[in-house]
Structure 1
Amino acid sequence: MKKRAFLRRILTACALLAVSTSTFAEKLNIGITLQPYYSYVKAVVGDKAEIIPLVDAGFNPHNYLPQPNDLKRLNQMDVIVVNGIGHDDFALKVIQAAQRDDLVVIEANKEVPLLPAMGQSVGKGAVNPHTFVGLSTTIQKVYTIASELSRLDPENAAFYRKNARKYAKAFRLLKRDAMLSLGQLDTAGMKVATTHNAYGYILQEFGVDVAAVIEPAHGVEPSASQLQETIEKIRQSGIDVLFYELNMPNRFVDTIEEATGVQLYRFSHMTHGEYETNKVEVEMRENVATLIEAMKFVASKHAQEKA
């Protein structure tokens, strides 16, 4: 009797060990739609899950059309993290086509306060989908991702939440250091224009408003009449700085610079190039450094004008 009880305990222990080992070995397959989300998810999960980009690197999300391979990749995923408010509409079409009731979709922006979209081509009620070009928005999205993944994978929940806090801290420190470097700089009258409705989130964190968005749509150059209207608006509004996209050719920007004398600065859009672990952190630091440089330029310019 004692031997049978002992054997049962041994068999039970072996079964529990087998389940535990199986659970540990079966990693979540997490899909992502855009480069920033690769960085976010990798920061949260480390090596505890597999990350599968829906589309190969090098695509343009604004004009990408879903391909058969996208559906194949989607069928490998347990969960997919989406921007969900624009910029990855192609992914939502693939998800709809897959008709998978078991696929978990994490909407990273569901807790993010959204800005209205700006520009000549946006519809009524449209929101700015470029939350990945922002510090506080990035932090909120990473917390949302960690929270949702923790529900799906409770065994690693503490690990995910700890990593999310660590990632968030890096961005809070980045903003703090930027604010300290600005000191008592007076940029209250700073007026900026952008070539794309992408930078509102990072600009608002430093108290900078966008006075004009030039492109009628992303990647679409303005017509001659639209360009002339923009030049006149910049002249009349006293625009100090024009921000444009680092990885996109904007030939008309040179025309604007020559006609208005406005100072040019480039921001990374973060949705070009390879899927990289540190992409967001590296390019966010570069964007913040660019913004600080622009703000110091404007403060110096205004001080000279008052002298």
Structure 2
Amino acid sequence: MTIVELSPRMLRRRCIAMLALLPAVVQATPPPRPTGQKLKIGATLHPYYSFVANIVGDRAEVIPLIAGDANPHSYQPQPDDIARATKLDVLVVNGIGHDEWAFEIVKAAGRKETLPLIHANASVALIPIGGDPNGAKVVNPHTFVSTTAAIQQVFEITRRLGELDPDNAAAYRRNALAYAGRIRELRAQFMNRFAGMDLSSFRCATTHAGYDYLMQEFGLFVSAVIEPRHGVAPTARQLAGTIEAIKKADVRVLFAEKYFSSGLAKPIEEATGVKVFALSHISGGPYTADRFEVEMRENLETLAAAVDYSRK
């Protein structure tokens, strides 16, 4: 038997020919919509509601998948969520650890094969959780607590919506450019405030690993994650352990989530001498088009105040 050596070019051609014989990958596609009916776009998290609402304007309907006052970190799907999922044309998801319950809802609604999912983070450069006490390289899913990663997600969502709704694709792109411009302007304002500051000695701890994307935008890093469990009030024993961990971390600033840690600030400050600053995960309250911009501005003001405090 004669053995024939194939050149790299011939190998590539053979591979391409073989791939052409494989069955095409079937992607979920929404059922046909009646002419003139607006696209129904679901959103799993508050920031995604804001992103989509600004992208589509009045050309599509944006539907939150779960109630605004639900805690997305420990959420259990409800019958109303499943009912909403049956009516959607597409669903925007985080898809990297912050809304795993959404996939349960889609499956329970019988839409696993028919509901297109837009993975907002498809084009985002992901980073591991900073300061994880276990040293594990776990992907940080909080890409929406950021301006740079938020803009990347806005454009990814816009691209995918344009594919699903080509008649409105041009309008979506125009709206996305205007929205991204406002987010860039917000970031630039605070970049100017941080310019010239010596941030090399800034050390902070957080009660949850939700701020790494925000910190890296301004050259800041999290020294320690004190209590990675989120949305769960600590017991007296856990609080004592948290206080001890803060002392060991040798930090002057602690960032806590504003919706779940309001009662912890005073005892922690009294016991450790650190200053507690509250940041938002943008994960609770009413769903509004301006929620991301409003709460990100508050977060950036808080970050600037914390940096000023640490330099005194």
Report the TM-score, using the length of structure 1 for normalisation: 0.84
Identity %: 48
1:51 to 40, 59, 62: 62
Q: 1:235 to 1:69 in 2, by over 3 A?
A: closer
Deviations 1:100-156 (A, max 9, x none): 222111010111111213576989542111111111110010000000000111111
Contact 2:130 2:212 in 1 (8 A): no
Q: Distance in 1 between matches of 2:122 and 2:133?
A: 24
Q: Please, which runs of 5 or more residues in structure 1 have no aligned partner?
A: 1-21, 302-307
- 2:300 is matched with 288
The alignment partner of 1:150 has SS state of helix
2:189 to 173, 177, 180: 177
Q: Normalized per residue, which structure has more helix?
A: 1
Contact 2:41 2:88 in 1 (8 A): yes
User: Quick one: which amino acid aligns to residue 179 of structure 2?
Assistant: Y
Contact 1:187 1:298 in 2 (8 A): no
Q: 1:69 to 1:235 in 2, by over 3 A?
A: closer
- 1:60 is matched with 71
2:91 to 63, 66, 80: 80
1:38 to 39, 49, 57: 49
Q: Distance in 1 between matches of 2:132 and 2:248?
A: 19
Q: Distance in 2 between matches of 1:123 and 1:37?
A: 30
Q: Where in structure 2 are the equivalents of 1:131-170 lying within 5 Å?
A: 131-170=143-182
Deviations 1:199-227 (A, max 9, x none): 11111111111111121411234565654
The alignment partner of 1:210 has SS state of coil
Q: Please, which runs of 5 or more residues in structure 2 have no aligned partner?
A: 1-33
Deviations 1:55-90 (A, max 9, x none): 122111122211122111111101000111122111
Q: 1:152 to 1:203 in 2, by over 3 A?
A: same
Q: How many residues align?
A: 278
1:271 to 283, 294, 297: 283
Contact 2:131 2:223 in 1 (8 A): no
- How far residue 175 of structure 1 moved from its aligned partner, in angstroms, is 1.3
Q: Distance in 2 between matches of 1:296 and 1:121?
A: 27
User: Quick one: which amino acid aligns to residue 185 of structure 1?
Assistant: M
What value does the CA root-mean-square deviation take over the aligned residues?
A: 2.1
- 2:126 is matched with 114
Q: Distance in 1 between matches of 2:103 and 2:130?
A: 23
Q: Which moved more, 1:272-281 or 1:220-229?
A: 220-229
The alignment partner of 2:74 has SS state of coil
- How far residue 183 of structure 1 moved from its aligned partner, in angstroms, is 2.9
Contact 2:47 2:291 in 1 (8 A): yes
Q: Distance in 1 between matches of 2:58 and 2:225?
A: 41
